[in-house]
Amino acid sequence: MIAEWIDRAAASRGDADYLEDAAGGALTFAGLRRATAGWARGLDRAGVAPGAAVALRLPDPLGYATALLGIIGAGRVVVPLDPAAPSAEVSRMLAVAQPQAMVCDPAGGLPGDGLPAGLTVLRPAEALAGDTSQPAGPAGTGGIFLCTSGTTGTPKGILLRDDQIGHVAAAVASHHRLTPADRGYCCLPLFHINAEVVGLLATLSARACLVLDRKFSRREFWPLIEEKRITWINAVPAIITVLAMDPGETGRPGGRVRFIRSASAPLAPSALERFERAFGIPVVETYGMTEAASMITANPLDGPRKAGSVGLPAGAEVRVVPVSGAVDAVGRVQIRGPGVITAYAAGGRPGAIDPDGWLDTGDLGRLDSDGYLFLAGRSDDVINRGGEKIYPREIEDFLLAQEGVSAAAVVAAHDEVLGERPVAYVVPAGSWSPDKLEYALREACEAGLPRAKRPSAFVVVEEMPLGATGKISRRRLRELAAARGVGEE
């Protein structure tokens, strides 16, 4: 499927830019087709079998994206790796994926913990060199193999076939109404499913253009959006929240942007409303996961976009299975569809996928009468206070609506009597001092939250521990709370 998309895009829009690097450089559709043919020949010469896995670790976004698509188009399975990951993590990922070859940059070095036996190491220039008249051999089935980024134990391995990622990418392009006239912006990591499917492949499906940026810069963001004539933005809640905090300093877009997309983590309704009020750009909140090749639900571009909801099913079927003792119809969110895996390639939770193909996401949520999904948090994050189940997101949304809070996360701390109690970590906005902010939040919680949901402690931090995709690391916060005895009386 992806190889056909590349050929058709090159035939219809050959000299048009498909990818642009915000720092300079571009790749046309015709250039992508040539690169794909080159990867097919280079992998054949290196003895990498059709359908085999090829690890990818390159620092340059444009080079990374070109290689990723070229390897898939050449009928191999790409294993995207974080170019900045510690050597121990890279070695662990390689052990799970078991690739036949690894593409890396000469300056990037190799994992210090050693490489798997028999692994062929390729440099991009070496792989693409050779006789361009030599036809490639028969292609295999391409795809993406992703590993969870756990720092302990063995990561889960998730294999997404060519047809699965193509199905979801086409669904994204259709929902977002992408056309060849669109120019997207993405600063998300290319080793993550969001940037790969929602960014690269949805853009390829629509034969549009995508601008890749190495990292988000608040002060340079809007000038770049104007300079590159961006029509839609692929973002995460942290970016939207930061932009909404000080719209006066960052400038305002000229009206070309159709929407900004939020994914990878929950977006506080207060941040969504502040952003839309400040910039006049619709925020489309979505929900996805690696096991579903990214997008599962999304708020519509037209029609009601419900703040606090991740929208309607857009890439998969969704159901909520009731949980005993839960309130407000909260249950376990389960999904199935053409883009959803039917088994883990390695690791995975026992019983996570039932015989009918329903995958338990591990998320809790509810469906309203219109079919919109509202997430309540991860099942592992629920706080059990003396038998009462407390969902952190409800407290977090309340805290984020308060003046002086730019980020908030609520985790469980040990309680000798009740078992667990909620503790809030907050990042101050503007010039708020820790003492002033803590006092204001205690007053607000006493007035606006039931006693059981009031955090027993407020920890003011300069920044939250984040993962590569912008999600707050609750595991790290729980470890900090335990180490410091936070919340204990």
Q: What is the pLDDT of residue 51?
A: 95
What's the topology of domain 216-380?
Rossmann fold (3.40.50)
Nearest residue to 365 (alpha-carbon basis) of 354, 353, 378? 378
Non-local CB neighbours of 275 within 8 Å, separated by 6+ positions: 240, 241, 243, 244, 260, 281, 283
Q: What is the pLDDT of residue 344?
A: 93
Cβ pair 79, 151 in contact under 8 A: no
Q: What is the pLDDT of residue 2?
A: 96
Domain with CATH 3.40.50.980 in the chain: 2-175
Which tokens sit at 165? 């990622």
Cβ pair 106, 121 in contact under 8 A: no
Residue 13 to residues 29, 181, 208: CA-CA distances in angstroms? 6, 12, 9
What is the enclosing helix (H) or strand (E) of 145?
strand 143-147
> Strand runs (DSSP E) across 213-314, as ranges?
232-235, 259-262, 283-289, 294-298, 312-313
CA distance 3 to 144: 14
* Number of alpha carbons in the 13 Å side-chain half-sphere of residue 80: 29
Nearest residue to 256 (alpha-carbon basis) of 277, 233, 278, 276? 233
Domain with CATH 3.40.50.12780 in the chain: 216-380
Non-local CB neighbours of 318 within 8 Å, separated by 6+ positions: 296, 297, 333, 334, 335, 367, 373
Is residue 290 over pLDDT 70? yes
CATH class, domain 382-484, is: alpha beta
Please state, as a whole number, how many other Cβ atoms lie within 10 Å of the Cβ of residue 488.
Answer: 15
CA distance 279 to 276: 5
CATH of domain 2-175: 3.40.50.980
Residue 160 to residues 76, 141, 193: CA-CA distances in angstroms? 12, 11, 10
CA distance 74 to 56: 14
Which tokens sit at 21? 């690097």
Q: What is the pLDDT of residues 344-363, one digit of tens each?
A: 998 887 889 999 999 999 99
Cβ pair 199, 262 in contact under 8 A: no
Q: What is the pLDDT of residue 385?
A: 86
**Confidence band for 152, pLDDT divided at 50, 70 and 90:** very low
Q: Which region among 104-113, 183-192, 449-458 has the lowest average model confidence (pLDDT)?
A: 104-113
Average pLDDT, the chain: 89
**Alpha carbon 461 to chain centroid, angstroms:** 24
Cβ pair 155, 92 in contact under 8 A: yes
Is residue 147 over pLDDT 90? no
The percent of residues in the chain predicted with pLDDT above 90, rounded, is: 64
Question: Which of the pair, 67 or 141, is modelled with greater confidence?
Answer: 67
Cβ pair 376, 320 in contact under 8 A: no
Non-local CB neighbours of 226 within 8 Å, separated by 6+ positions: 253, 254, 256
Q: What is the pLDDT of residues 193-206, one digit of tens each?
A: 999 999 999 999 99
> Strand runs (DSSP E) across 226-310, as ranges?
232-235, 259-262, 283-289, 294-298
Give pTM, 2 decimals.
Answer: 0.88
Domain with CATH 3.30.300.30 in the chain: 382-484
Backbone dihedral angles phi then psi of residue 346, each to the nearest 5 degrees: -160, 145
What is the enclosing helix (H) or strand (E) of 50?
none
DSSP 8-state symbol, 468: T
